Amino acid sequence: MNPEDRLSEALHATLDTAQPSPDLADLIVERVSPAGPRSVPFHRMPRLRPGFVALVAVLLIAVAMVPVAINLRSQTDSVGSLAHFDRDGLAFDYPASWRTSVSGLDEHYISILDFLGTGSGLATCNTITPGPSDNFISGTECGDTLTVDPGQVVVELLRSDGPPRPGPIDPNDPSALSIGQKYVTVGGLPAIFAEGTDSTTPTLDWTLSVPEQLISRYLIHVEMKGPGLDQMRAQVEALVASVSYDPPVPVLKPADGPRIAAIGLTKATANDSSFACFPKVPGATATATITQFPMYSTLSKPLPVTCTTEIQPFSIGLWKMTLTESWTAASDRSAGSLTTTLWLDHTGSPGEEDGGPGPSEMPYWPVQSS
């Protein structure tokens, strides 16, 4: 059985009988406005569901707590003075009276950089002990705990380096936003802001771009508890308003586009000969007979194509190079085109690449490599 069939069998075996909590549908219906389809606030459901209770019980009883190294240091400056944060490329000012708790917990693809504020945060990993029906022999579960007492605020700083691979934050794409989110600008770069709806513990979340990093994000999560919410919110908003990036975002000049395109394509072709088709001069066209598209396996038959190259600067300090291969119709294929996006840094070095718009039917579908 090939991996695809085995995966299908395994997914069906493990998921076909999976059922949500019995009250899930009722909880959803409760959220639906009787006034008709319209925007409604999103509320997270309680995180403990019946199917999860056994695991949580095991966690509470048998878990061995393994605190991750935390270095607490108090600031004793006078009220109103500011301290400066500069770590992992993110810089900002914050009230010097706040405590900072350096975490450094590095989970898969996400790092908790720091906790700041008048409350506190703790990042831990717990050992999981399986129950009798669990199909694992051991495991760990990592997470964080914020302690926010009345009149306190905690700011949690995280950096996510993917996966997932969401692509750049693009304010021109409103469909990428979840309910309650909106695009803002932080430190001159696109960002996403969302505000929680819990009135007792308001939360604020910013998702920031990372300069020259397509799939990375800085995450600023804030929890507060009154009294004094207005002042704490003003402090947090001042923090966000002071954000800058270190090193700063490279300034890309459109006039440099042709030079960068030539560098990028030379380097890309050295790694993958399927890029050889694309002209090094943006706007020019070239013809070739190819046996492979970028990121594909070998085509079942050579394909004559016309190749074009476009390049433009993107807000996070990367060049976006759009490479298109188009072909005409023949007896065994329809006309079509395939676009590949190649992201280049300010020196022209290729980074992420992705498939862009493609045809309804690929010609000479590539041979599957075993």
Partner 1 sequence: MTAIAGQLVLDARSGDAAAFASLVHAEAPAAYRLALSIVRSPAEAEDAVQEAFLRAWRDLGSLRDIELWPAWFRRITVRAALDQTRRRNRVREVDLDLAAEVPGLEPAVHQADRLELIAAFDRMAPDDRAILALRFFADLELPDVAAALGIPLGTAKSRLHRAVGRLRAQMRQES
Chain residues 92-111 in contact with partner 1, contact rule CB under 8 A: 107-108, 110
Tell me the sheet residues that pair with 114: 102, 157
In degrees and rounded to multiples of 5, residue 264 shows phi and psi of: -60, -45
Among 74, 78, 178, 200, binds partner 1 (CB under 8 A): 178
Question: Quick one: 63 or 82, whose CB is closer to partner 1?
Answer: 63
Torsions phi, psi for 288 (to 5 deg): -165, 165
In whole angstroms, how close is the CB of 367 to partner 1 at the nearest point? Answer: 11
* Nearer to partner 1 among residue 6 and residue 87 (C-beta): 6
Our CB check for partner 1 shows the closer of 22 and 150 to be: 22
DSSP 8-state symbol, 23? T
Among 104, 162, 226, 228, binds partner 1 (CB under 8 A): 162
Residue with tokens 């492979």: 292
Tell me the C-alpha distance between 281 and 126, whole Å. Answer: 55
Q: Are 324 and 307 in contact (CB under 8 A)?
A: yes
Which one of residues 67, 80, 150, 164 is an interface residue with partner 1 (CB under 8 A)? 164
User: Which parts of 57-96 interact with partner 1 (CB under 8 A)?
Assistant: none
Query: Toward partner 1, which CB reaches closer, 54 or 330?
Result: 54
Beta-ladder partners of 92: 85
Instruction: For residue 288, give Cα distances in angstroms to 50, 100, 279, 293, 308.
Output: 60, 59, 11, 12, 11
How far is the C-alpha of 118 from the C-alpha of 239, rounded, in Å?
A: 14
Stretch that binds partner 1, among 43-51, 63-71, 230-238, 254-262 (CB under 8 A): 43-51
149 touching partner 1, by CB under 8 A: no
Q: CA angle at residue 105 from 101 to 111, to 5 degrees?
A: 100
| Size of the residue set binding partner 1 (CB under 8 A) | 85
Q: Which of 89, 258, 351, 356 binds partner 1 (CB under 8 A)?
A: 356
**Tokens 């009220």 appear where?**
79
**Considering only residues 292-351, where is the footprint of partner 1 by CB under 8 A?**
293, 295-297, 336, 338
The least distance separating partner 1 from the CB of residue 281, rounded to whole angstroms, comes to 25
Whichever of 204 and 260 has its CB closer to partner 1, that residue is 204
Range 185-214, binding partner 1 (CB under 8 A):
205
Answer yes or no: are the C-beta atoms of 120 and 100 closer than 8 Å.
no
CA–CA dist 192, 204 (Å, integer): 11
Buried b (16+ CB within 10 A) or exposed e, 265-289: bebbbeeeebbebbbbebeeebeee
Q: Would you give the binding string for partner 1 spanning residues 260-299, x where CB under 8 A is met?
A: ---------------------------------x-xxx--
| 19 binds partner 1, rule: CB under 8 A | yes
Footprint of partner 1 on 107-146 (CB under 8 A):
107-108, 110, 128, 135-144
Rg (CA), the chain: 26
Does the protein bind partner 1 through residue 253 (CB under 8 A)? Answer: no
Beta bridge partners of 83: 94
Based on CB atoms, which residue is closest to partner 1, 254 or 358? 358
Residues 6+ apart with CB under 8 A from 25: none
Residue 179 lies near partner 1 (rule: CB under 8 A) = yes
Positive/negative CA dihedral, 318, 319, 320, 324 = negative
Establish if 14 lies at the interface with partner 1 (CB under 8 A). yes
CB of 30 to partner 1, least distance (A): 10
Please tell me what DSSP assigns to residue 343: E
Do strands 110-117 and 99-107 pair parallel, antiparallel, or not at all (unpaired)?
Answer: antiparallel
Q: How far is the CB of 326 from partner 1 (least distance, A)?
A: 12
Rounded to a whole number of angstroms, the minimum distance from the CB of residue 366 to partner 1 is: 7
